[in-house]
Amino acid sequence: MSDRYASFVRTGAGRALVKRLGLPDPPRLRRHTPGDPLVPGPVLLGSSTGGRLAEPVGKIFSAAGVELSDPAAASRFAALAYDATGITDSTQLRQLYDFFHPQARAVLPSGRVIVLGTPPQECPTPREATAQRALEGLVRSIGKEFGLGVTAQLVYVTKNADAATRVSLESTLRFLLSGRSAYVSGQVIRVGTGDASAPADWDRPLDGQVVLVTGAARGIGAALARVLARDGAQVVALDIPAAGDALAAVANDIGGTAVQLDLTAPDAPARLADHLGSRHGRVDVVVHNAGITRDKTLGRMDADRWDQVIDVNLSSQERINDVLLERKLIPAGGRIVSVSSIAGIAGNRGQTNYSTSKAGVIGLVDSLAPALHDRGISVNAVAPGFIETRLTARIPLVVREAGRRMNSLAQGGLPVDVAETIGWLAWPASGAVSGNVVRVCGQSLLGA
Ligand code: NAD
């Protein structure tokens, strides 16, 4: 699971070789440790003429202890944030160039670029919708261009904002500025309306929340359980009985509880609902992380491989959601977060079953998020790219190296990167972020 190449290029000899041969140069990414400031330096906040978000964002930054500065006082910035909501015509896109061009070399390593816009479908004129849609191209290119672990995102904020919009804009900005979003780049995130409440302490954003994590015995699920517990959640960790020992170790480690259950068993949804109902009376956050692969090209795939993958990765999620929702165990302010994959966006050779299941997860988000909006429950997915786990360690070396390097950050992500992203979507503060699929892939070239 170790990335020997990344370790090598950080040595003196490695650095020299990388420079001489023009090889990929994976930067060391800034990751979150509790108590860290959101950003390790000043932030430059700019606005298009008539932008509606610079003022509220400035207030959020100040409340979060972010130091705002300008080019007269600082030469380098930990983040550039730009309110582009005032751009209503393509001729005004020049304002983006005027802001970003002078700062293109002024962003510190692992810095952040955040552009704020209006969802094109909410724009009153085709011209404005066109200009707002254009922002995506800028952000995705900056993500590919700036290097040094700098990430770039576009945040579309609804014009019909309510109190929840403001709270979730804050949770989103906090996530994006911090080391929690280390491996998220080139993403478009939509902040709408919903049920959101700010935490008493932003360092414990999940305080008191009951969270179910499926597939928690190892890999991404184990990292998830740890991150969510660190952030204050009471974690119910679920995995198959055969993984009982590893599951118990994770649950003990974080003071959570372990549930041994095969999600595909016919009585699994009822047994899980019974357990959550009798132990906790509710489940605030459901994270559908358990997943399997059974790879074969379609012509060589037996029906069992197809059935197992669709059942574990997709149908079991639907059955569990149905029972938990029917029994009203997910309260207002509840969160459902599913794990998809970039294979569900781009497709993958040898993975027709897996890609179908993971694209289905995106369909689940698209259909369930609007249906549950009025119940105050958000539904989102993350789509990981190449993450360093046992699953990816088994990939043949050449394919593995390609997967690792073919992204803007020139390295694989860590399970903790997926966990932090799911954590943000699970926060009570993030309820106005719903119906999103956020890729945690270092802006992978696959599925672009
Ligand atoms: P993993 O195999 O290490 O862990 C998956 C866990 O799910 C295991 O502990 C397994 O026992 C459990 N599980 C499987 N079937 C189950 C069932 N029927 N009932 C209960 N538990 C079950 O995999 P991982 O790499 O940690 O992946 C976690 C999720 O992330 C999966 O949904 C996977 O598809 C997705 N993902 C992973 C990557 C990656 O690069 N590792 C990339 C994209 C998506």
How is the chain split into domains, by residue range?
A: 31-191, 210-440
Mean pLDDT score, 169-174: 98
Mean pLDDT score, 279-285: 97
- 5 is known as an active-site residue: no
Q: Same CATH fold, 210-440 and 31-191?
A: yes
Q: How far apart are CA 186 and CA 409, in angstroms?
A: 11
Residue 365 token pair: 């988000």
pLDDT tens sequence across 364-389: 999 999 999 999 999 999 999 999 99
Residue 205 token pair: 């954003």
Give 447's pLDDT tier (boundaries 50, 70, 90): low
Residue 292 token pair: 């399997």
Beta partners for 36?
A: none
Mean pLDDT score, 150-165: 97
Distance 291 CA to ligand 1 centre (A): 4
Give the whole-number percent of the chain exceeding pLDDT 70: 97
Query: Using a 6 Å cutoff on CB, does residue 292 contact ligand 1?
Result: yes
Mean pLDDT estimate for the chain = 95
Choose among 351, 354, 357: nearest CA to 298.
Answer: 351
Instruction: Give the pLDDT confidence score for residue 5 in this predicted structure.
Output: 76
Distance 35 CA to ligand 1 centre (A): 30
Fold of 210-440: Rossmann fold (3.40.50)
Res 20 pLDDT > 70: no
Q: Whose CA is nearest to atom 31 of ligand 1?
A: 291
Check residues 402 and 95 and name the one with the higher pLDDT: 95
Distance 402 CA to ligand 1 centre (A): 22
Mean pLDDT score, 139-155: 97
Mean pLDDT score, 269-287: 98
Res 448 pLDDT > 60: no
Mean pLDDT score, 191-215: 97
Instruction: Give the pLDDT confidence score for residue 202 in this predicted structure.
Output: 96
CATH 3.20.20.70 fits 31-191, yes or no: no
Instruction: Give the pLDDT confidence score for residue 308 in this predicted structure.
Output: 98
Q: How far apart are CA 85 and CA 157, in angstroms?
A: 9
pLDDT tens sequence across 399-412: 888 889 999 999 99
